[in-house]
């Protein structure tokens, strides 16, 4: 499973109603369910899935699926 | 369980009646809430789970403001609940008054728990994280303030009406996630939150304890082979370096005192076994062992007879033997039976064995169980040689019918939730559901006690239902399998029909309630109704002396 699929799995665990296509477009501004608790939960599940750890200021910047994907790609060297 | 798995389980679509839980903690519940919901969903797949949480930093207030009906309350204490100065998020200068402040806060929490525990089950966990470094002593030393706080917590655990989670079951060394606590207010690693949630849910929804243990003798109950080593060659004591078998025997005494049935299945010479069990230094009390199957026929035959004598299914029994071949044969004969290899000198083996039978409290009926089974065997043997009528006529049986819903009788709900065979419909109730059921003024509850010349059975049947004019809708009817063959069920129906003209039975077939179905096939053939006149024509002669007590 590539990074994108693994990240989609994390997003769908937090937002089970989203399809893969919707996950790819998900952002704080487009998704009402994406609140501060969802951000923390997403960050924790991504940390667990990829074995990485966000800095506090980095989590605040994770406001869309692409931003998470870019971060994961940078940290995992993919 | 990983967080992503917990999220998937917790967030999957759910249906069925609501099961409401309050997760009361002073920190941000975050992943603990997810883990609790996931574990509840795994334990209750046919229910919709709702996990409510409370006010941040105000555990006492959360508990005091719980008003709506709850099926369970989970209380997770941390140091900050005793005094915020002890927490990592807002550590402060600690002086002597921290003890009086903590006492006041714990007292408030305990009072709120007592009120909730009247209505539902409450589980509590004690602080598991290290205290913030607010005391000057090195962490290798137990400072007097911390010792006083720990004393207070253990006093709470001893006196609270909540069921306390044993701290040892959770100790794993990686409980604390300080980064998460400081960032989000959630103090635990997810692996710890998962273990904590699992432990609390096990308290609220405990696995049904096993009812019986069947043990081998050679190299199990004692060290040595009785047939080869002789009566004096077997041992279970420290002097022979075989003390582990003595500890096992003592565990069997503990289980027997809690009402667990103990049987013996051994390929052995029956007379030698009698002599061995008569040795005065035997630790296990021989009266606890019933039946004893000691002969040379296959062990599955022995177990079959033991299950028949106990009238329990193989899924309720644990078989312990040192021989892996015997274990494999037993598993093949009884796939539902748990078959355990005896592990000598392994403390974990005995502790885990004990946990399979773990009981929160012991009732009078538990202490009567083995004696009543022996007596039941006597009844059956007598019935083989004489007609049942003449046997029952001479039994000098007394049945006591206790009507009333107050004070609540915990034995009633226990019987309803553990009886499988003579059970009208298999419906189980949580404490809250049972309270709600009984709160209907038209509902009546009847608890039945039985005693005869063969022995006392205690409270062995529960009937409940709703009055509908001249009729009674019976939707709860359970009777212990120890009470079969005494026409107790007939007397129960007769009593109800002395008050109401007819009984409407809310019967549902379950996997295991064939005895109830058989009775109804005779008492109410082709219908779900028993009418007084028809019952009186059909009912065989009853010999019980009866007494009704109105609560």
Query: Would the CB atoms of A41 and B11 count as touching at under 8 Å?
Result: no
Domain end position, chosen among B204, B222, B239: B204
Do B170 and B140 share a structural domain? Answer: yes
The pLDDT of A41-63, averaged and rounded, is 91
CATH number at B97 reads 3.40.50.1110
CATH number at B447 reads 3.40.630.30
Do B236 and B180 share a structural domain? Answer: no
Domain membership of residue B140 as a residue range? 3-204
* pLDDT at residue B406 in the model: 84
Q: Cβ of B56 under 8 Å from any chain A Cβ?
A: no
Q: Please give the structure tokens belonging to residue B384.
A: 């083989």
Q: How many Cβ atoms from other residues are within 10 Å of residue B172's Cβ?
A: 11
| Chain B residue with minimum CA distance to A10 | B4
Euclidean distance between CA atoms B62 and B60, whole angstroms? 5
Euclidean distance between CA atoms B421 and B544, whole angstroms? 23
Q: Cβ of B174 under 8 Å from any chain A Cβ?
A: no
Do B220 and B98 share a structural domain? Answer: no
Do B83 and B114 share a structural domain? Answer: yes
Q: Tell me the backbone φ, ψ of residue B189, rounded to 5 degrees.
A: -70, 155
Closest Cβ–Cβ partner in B3, B179, B186 for A48:
B3
Do B398 and B346 share a structural domain? Answer: no
Interface test with A, best of B1, B2, B4, B190 (most A CBs within 10 A): B4
Residue in B272, B439, B247 with CA at minimum distance from that of residue B354: B247
Residue in B294, B258, B256 with CA at minimum distance from that of residue B273: B294
Q: Please give the structure tokens belonging to residue B86.
A: 């002890």
Residues in chain A whose Cβ is within 8 Å of chain B: 9-10, 13-14, 16, 37, 40-41, 44-45, 48-49, 53, 56, 59
CATH number at A11 reads 1.10.1200.10
Q: Tell me the backbone φ, ψ of residue B383, rounded to 5 degrees.
A: -65, -25
How confident is the prediction for chain B on average, in pLDDT? Answer: 92
* pLDDT at residue B379 in the model: 65
Do B216 and B120 share a structural domain? Answer: no
B22: Cβ–Cβ under 8 A, 6 or more apart, which residues? B51, B52, B53, B54, B62, B66, B70, B72, B73, B74
Q: How is residue B89 annotated by DSSP?
A: S
Does residue B302 sit within a domain?
yes
Euclidean distance between CA atoms B191 and B118, whole angstroms? 32
Residue B528 and residue B507 in contact, taking contact as beta carbons nearer than 8 Å? yes
Query: Would the CB atoms of A44 and B180 count as touching at under 8 Å?
Result: yes
Q: Each residue of B29-78: pLDDT tens digit?
A: 999 999 999 999 999 999 999 999 999 999 999 999 998 889 999 999 99
Do B466 and B332 share a structural domain? Answer: no
Does residue B140 sit within a domain?
yes
Contacts of B7 in chain A (CB under 8 A): 13-14, 41, 45
| Chain B residue with minimum CA distance to A44 | B3
Does residue B33 sit within a domain?
yes
Does residue B375 sit within a domain?
no
| Chain B residue with minimum CA distance to A14 | B7
Contacts of A49 in chain B (CB under 8 A): 4
Query: Would the CB atoms of B7 and A49 count as touching at under 8 Å?
Result: no
Query: Would the CB atoms of A45 and B12 count as touching at under 8 Å?
Result: no
* pLDDT at residue B386 in the model: 58
| Chain B residue with minimum CA distance to A38 | B30
| Chain A residue with minimum CA distance to B5 | A13
Query: Would the CB atoms of A37 and B30 count as touching at under 8 Å?
Result: yes
Indicate the number of domains in chain B.
3
Please state the pTM of the whole predicted model.
Answer: 0.78
Does residue B456 sit within a domain?
yes
Query: Would the CB atoms of A41 and B31 count as touching at under 8 Å?
Result: yes
Contacts of A48 in chain B (CB under 8 A): 2-4, 190
Does residue B370 sit within a domain?
no
Indicate the number of domains in chain A.
1
Residues in chain A, total: 78
Euclidean distance between CA atoms B30 and B288, whole angstroms? 49
Do B307 and B443 share a structural domain? Answer: no
* pLDDT at residue B453 in the model: 82
Does residue B277 sit within a domain?
yes
* pLDDT at residue B366 in the model: 74
Q: Each residue of A2-15: pLDDT tens digit?
A: 999 999 999 999 99
Euclidean distance between CA atoms B426 and B432, whole angstroms? 18
What is the least distance, in Å, from the CA of A59 to any CA of chain B?
Answer: 10
Q: Please give the structure tokens belonging to residue B217.
A: 């003798």
What is the least distance, in Å, from the CA of B477 to any CA of chain A?
Answer: 42
Q: What is the dihedral of CA B373, B464, B425, B198, to 10 degrees?
A: -80
Residue in B251, B82, B253 with CA at minimum distance from that of residue B151: B82
Domain end position, chosen among B204, B221, B238: B204
Q: How is residue B207 annotated by DSSP?
A: P
Q: Please give the structure tokens belonging to residue B287.
A: 């009266």
Do B524 and B448 share a structural domain? Answer: yes
Closest Cβ–Cβ partner in A37, A45, A59 for B4:
A45
By CB neighbour count within 10 A (0-12 exposed, 13-18 middle, 19+ buried), where does B247 fall? middle
Euclidean distance between CA atoms B127 and B76, whole angstroms? 8
Q: Cβ of B31 under 8 Å from any chain A Cβ?
A: yes
Interface test with B, best of A7, A11, A13 (most B CBs within 10 A): A13
Residue ranges of chain B with pLDDT lower than 50? none
* pLDDT at residue B204 in the model: 95
Q: Tell me the backbone φ, ψ of residue B399, rounded to 5 degrees.
A: -115, 130
Does residue B363 sit within a domain?
no
Q: Three-state secondary structure along B479-544?
A: ECHHHCCCCHHHHHHHHHHHHCCEEEECCCCCCCCHHHHHHHHHHCCCCCEEEHHHHHHHCCCCCC
Q: Chain A neighbours among B 263-292 (CB < 8 Å)?
A: none
Q: Each residue of B418-430: pLDDT tens digit?
A: 888 899 999 999 8
**For chain B, first and last CA: distance in Å?**
48
Query: Would the CB atoms of A16 and B183 count as touching at under 8 Å?
Result: no
What is the least distance, in Å, from the CA of B105 to any CA of chain A?
Answer: 29
Do B246 and B195 share a structural domain? Answer: no
Q: Over 60: is that where the pLDDT of A78 sits?
A: no
Domain membership of residue A44 as a residue range? 3-76
Domain end position, chosen among B204, B225, B240: B204
* pLDDT at residue B392 in the model: 83
Residue in B25, B339, B70 with CA at minimum distance from that of residue B187: B25
Residue in B380, B379, B474, B457 with CA at minimum distance from that of residue B415: B457
* pLDDT at residue B95 in the model: 80
Contacts of B12 in chain A (CB under 8 A): 16
Do B156 and B14 share a structural domain? Answer: yes
Do B235 and B184 share a structural domain? Answer: no
Contacts of A14 in chain B (CB under 8 A): 7, 11
CATH number at B302 reads 3.40.50.1000
Taking CA atoms, B217 is separated from B284, B343, B526, in Å, by 12, 14, 50
| Count of pairs with CB atoms under 8 A, one residue in A, one in B | 36
* pLDDT at residue B533 in the model: 93
How confident is the prediction for chain A on average, in pLDDT? Answer: 91
Q: How is residue B358 annotated by DSSP?
A: -
């Amino acid at each position: 499973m590539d990074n994108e699929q693994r990240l989609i799995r994390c997003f769908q665990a937090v937002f089970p109603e989203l399809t893969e296509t919707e996950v790819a477009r998900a952002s704080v501004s487009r998704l009402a369910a994406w609140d501060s608790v969802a951000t923390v939960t997403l960050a924790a599940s991504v940390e667990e899935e990829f074995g990485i750890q966000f800095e506090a200021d980095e989590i605040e910047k994770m406001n869309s699926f692409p931003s998470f994907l870019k971060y994961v790609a940078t940290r995992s060297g993919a | 369980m990983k967080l992503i798995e917990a999220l998937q389980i917790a967030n999957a679509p759910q249906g069925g009646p609501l099961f409401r839980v309050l997760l009361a903690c002073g920190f941000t519940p975050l992943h603990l809430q997810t883990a609790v919901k996931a574990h509840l969903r795994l334990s209750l797949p046919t229910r919709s789970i709702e996990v409510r949480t409370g006010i941040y930093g105000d555990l006492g207030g959360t508990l005091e403001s719980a008003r709506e009906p709850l099926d369970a309350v989970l209380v997770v204490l941390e140091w900050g609940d005793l005094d915020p100065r002890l927490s990592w998020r807002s550590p402060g200068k600690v002086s002597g008054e921290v003890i009086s402040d903590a006492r006041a806060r714990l007292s408030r929490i305990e009072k709120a728990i007592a009120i909730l525990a009247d209505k539902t089950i409450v589980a509590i966990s004690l602080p598991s994280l290290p205290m913030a470094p607010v005391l000057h002593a090195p962490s290798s030393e137990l400072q007097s303030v911390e010792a006083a706080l720990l004393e207070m917590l253990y006093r709470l655990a001893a006196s609270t009406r909540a069921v306390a989670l044993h701290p040892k079951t959770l100790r794993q060394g990686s409980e604390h996630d300080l980064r998460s606590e400081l960032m989000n207010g959630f103090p635990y690693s997810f692996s710890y939150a998962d273990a904590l949630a699992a432990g609390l849910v096990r308290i609220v929804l405990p696995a049904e304890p096993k009812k019986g243990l069947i043990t081998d003798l050679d190299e199990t109950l004692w060290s040595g082979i009785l047939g080869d080593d002789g009566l004096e060659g077997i041992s279970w004591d420290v002097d022979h370096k075989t003390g582990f078998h003595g500890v096992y025997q003592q565990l069997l005494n503990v289980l027997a005192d809690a009402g667990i049935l103990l049987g013996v299945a051994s390929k052995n010479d029956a007379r030698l076994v009698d002599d061995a069990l008569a040795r005065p230094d035997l630790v296990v009390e021989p009266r606890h062992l019933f039946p004893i199957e000691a002969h040379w026929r296959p062990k599955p035959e022995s177990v079959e007879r033991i299950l028949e004598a106990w009238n329990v299914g193989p899924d309720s029994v644990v078989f312990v033997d040192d021989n892996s071949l015997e274990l494999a044969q037993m598993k093949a004969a009884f796939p539902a039976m748990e078959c355990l290899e005896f592990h000598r000198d392994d403390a974990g083996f005995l502790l885990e064995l004990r946990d399979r039978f773990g009981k929160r409290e012991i009732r009078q009926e538990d202490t009567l169980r083995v004696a009543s089974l022996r007596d039941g065997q006597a009844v059956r043997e007598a019935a083989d040689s004489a007609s049942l009528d003449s046997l029952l006529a001479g039994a000098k049986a007394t049945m006591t019918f206790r009507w009333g819903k107050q004070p609540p009788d915990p034995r009633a709900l226990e019987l309803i939730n553990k009886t499988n065979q003579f059970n009208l419909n298999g419906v189980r109730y949580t404490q809250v559901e049972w309270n709600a059921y009984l709160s209907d003024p038209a509902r009546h509850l009847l608890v039945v006690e039985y005693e005869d010349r063969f022995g006392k059975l205690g409270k062995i049947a529960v009937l409940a239902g709703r009055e509908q004019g001249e009729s009674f809708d019976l939707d709860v009817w359970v009777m212990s399998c120890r009470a079969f063959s005494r026409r107790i069920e007939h007397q129960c129906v007769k009593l109800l029909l002395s008050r109401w003209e007819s009984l409407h039975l809310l019967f549902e077939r379950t996997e295991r309630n064939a005895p109830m179905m058989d009775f109804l096939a005779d008492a109410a053939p082709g219908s779900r109704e028993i009418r007084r006149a028809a019952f009186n024509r059909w009912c065989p002669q009853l010999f019980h002396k009866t007494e009704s007590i109105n609560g």
